[in-house]
């Protein structure tokens, strides 16, 4: 395809080889060349973006994979989007396979919903559309003021299970916490396999975190010397109001609901970052009789000592997609395998540019994926 006549350009918002690998795969499938731009860090660590070709009246797709330096990647994306906006691009569409800060999508005490802040920043920078994959919570789409296409990686992971796991018919799909049960059930139903759910004190899901703000606030006694601060006392409730006693939450000892004895255990999740929970789950499943343990996840962040912990654990294989660059982690741990999802991203770009329906990309996809 001739880039000049195609009416759109594809740019990479990061110049490092690991991050441009996915961009090159997408452009090869589309039959176009990667847009000419330069993204670099100045000596004072400021990000500079230079667009090296005309983008006037063009539809622009910016591909940004998120490396370990998340904040720098966000600034690269924002600055490139704004540079394209000021260069009179017609539409600016972000292709962000792993959307950063997606775990910070709920209010925690006196914190903030950072994911909504990032959505507002992207809109202000000039993005008019977003293509992403397996958002941590699907409700995140409501944070945006422009269309969001939340693609799914489950067809690729299901295909890997069927083609690469010997005797997968003897497998059982495992949710490592009750919050992951719906995703696991979706996988189990399409593979016609059984389902097991792990529950207990070793698991710590997001729903267990303290939510809301502590109210009422402390009241300080200001009687006395102006510079003396006395210990604060809890404000008494209104007269006549007695709230029910809130029982503290206590988890039972860890249990596995479902029979994994003599089976291949396949744990499914959307993100694998700190792997301590997965390693602990694998040990429990081994004790319950599972003879092989696989982990399937869309986004392989694999932070800190994740490769070493996986290599030393009872986990046989960790399968993730290439939404996040993890070549260094693969060199450290041969158990990590990669599934390429550039095909669906390229098809999404082609369909959006041609004004075609996206329904084909979501066929046989359930809401719980």
Three-state secondary structure call for residue 177: coil
- Specify whether the CB–CB gap between 80 and 61 falls below 8 A: no
Return the pLDDT at 182: 93
Return the pLDDT at 368: 74
Return the pLDDT at 1: 41
CA distance 121 to 288: 48
What is the dihedral sign for C-alpha 74, 77, 81, 82? Answer: positive
CA distance 209 to 156: 32
User: Rounded to 5, what percent of the chain is helix, strand, coil?
Assistant: 35, 20, 45
Fold entry, domain 9-151: Rossmann fold (3.40.50)
Return the pLDDT at 4: 44
- Specify whether the CB–CB gap between 131 and 94 falls below 8 A: yes
Q: Where are the domains of the chain?
A: 9-151, 155-202+253-339
- Specify whether the CB–CB gap between 341 and 335 falls below 8 A: no
Same fold, 9-151 and 155-202+253-339: yes
CA distance 112 to 136: 17
CA dihedral 232, 238, 239, 245 (to 10 degrees): -80
For residue 6, give Cα distances in angstroms to 3, 23, 26, 294.
Answer: 5, 17, 15, 42
Return the pLDDT at 354: 94
For residue 4, give Cα distances in angstroms to 53, 198, 352.
Answer: 11, 54, 18
Return the pLDDT at 215: 52
For domain 155-202+253-339, the CATH architecture is 3-Layer(aba) Sandwich (3.40)
Return the pLDDT at 267: 97
CA distance 341 to 158: 13
Q: What are the mean pLDDT values of the chain's consecutive 10-residue runs (369 residues total)? A: 65 84 94 93 93 95 91 95 96 96 88 94 97 94 95 96 95 93 94 93 54 53 53 56 72 85 96 92 94 96 93 96 93 96 96 94 82
Would you tell me how many other CB atoms lie within 10 Å of the CB of residue 138? 13
The pair of three-digit structure tokens given for residue 175, joined into one six-digit string: 């949710």
């Amino acid at each position: 395809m001739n880039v000049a006549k195609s009416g759109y350009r594809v740019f990479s918002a990061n110049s490092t080889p690991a991050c441009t690998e996915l961009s090159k795969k997408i452009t090869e499938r589309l039959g176009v060349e990667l847009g000419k731009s330069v993204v670099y860090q100045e000596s004072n660590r400021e990000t500079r973006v230079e667009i090296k070709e005309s983008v006037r009246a063009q539809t622009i797709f910016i591909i940004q994979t998120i490396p370990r330096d998340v904040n720098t990647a966000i600034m690269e994306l924002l600055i490139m989007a704004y540079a394209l906006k000021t260069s009179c691009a017609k539409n600016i569409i972000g292709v962000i396979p792993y959307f950063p800060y997606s775990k910070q999508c709920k209010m925690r005490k006196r914190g903030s919903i950072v994911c909504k802040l990032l959505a507002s920043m992207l809109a202000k920078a000039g993005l008019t559309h977003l293509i992403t994959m397996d958002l941590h919570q699907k409700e995140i789409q409501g944070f945006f003021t422009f269309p969001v296409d939340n693609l799914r990686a489950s067809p690729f992971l299901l295909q890997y299970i069927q083609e690469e796991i010997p005797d997968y018919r003897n497998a059982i799909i495992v949710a490592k916490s009750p919050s992951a049960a719906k995703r696991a059930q979706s996988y189990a139903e399409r593979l016609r396999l059984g389902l097991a759910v792990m529950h207990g004190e070793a698991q710590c899901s997001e729903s267990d975190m303290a939510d809301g703000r502590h109210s009422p606030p402390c009241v300080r006694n200001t009687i006395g010397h102006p510079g003396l601060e006395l210990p604060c006392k809890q404000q008494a409730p209104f007269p006549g109001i007695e709230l029910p006693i809130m029982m503290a939450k206590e988890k039972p000892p860890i249990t596995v609901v479902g029979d994994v004895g003599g089976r291949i255990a396949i744990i499914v999740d959307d993100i694998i970052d700190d792997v301590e929970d997965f390693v602990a789950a694998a040990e429990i499943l081994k004790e319950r009789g599972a003879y092989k343990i696989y982990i399937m996840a869309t986004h392989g962040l694999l932070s800190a000592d994740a490769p070493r912990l996986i290599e030393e654990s009872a986990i046989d294989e960790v399968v993730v997609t290439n939404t996040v660059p993890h070549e260094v982690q693969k060199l450290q741990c041969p158990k990590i395998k990669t599934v390429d999802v550039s095909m669906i991203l390229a098809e999404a770009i082609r369909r959006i540019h041609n004004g075609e329906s996206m329904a084909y990309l979501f066929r046989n996809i359930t809401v719980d994926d």
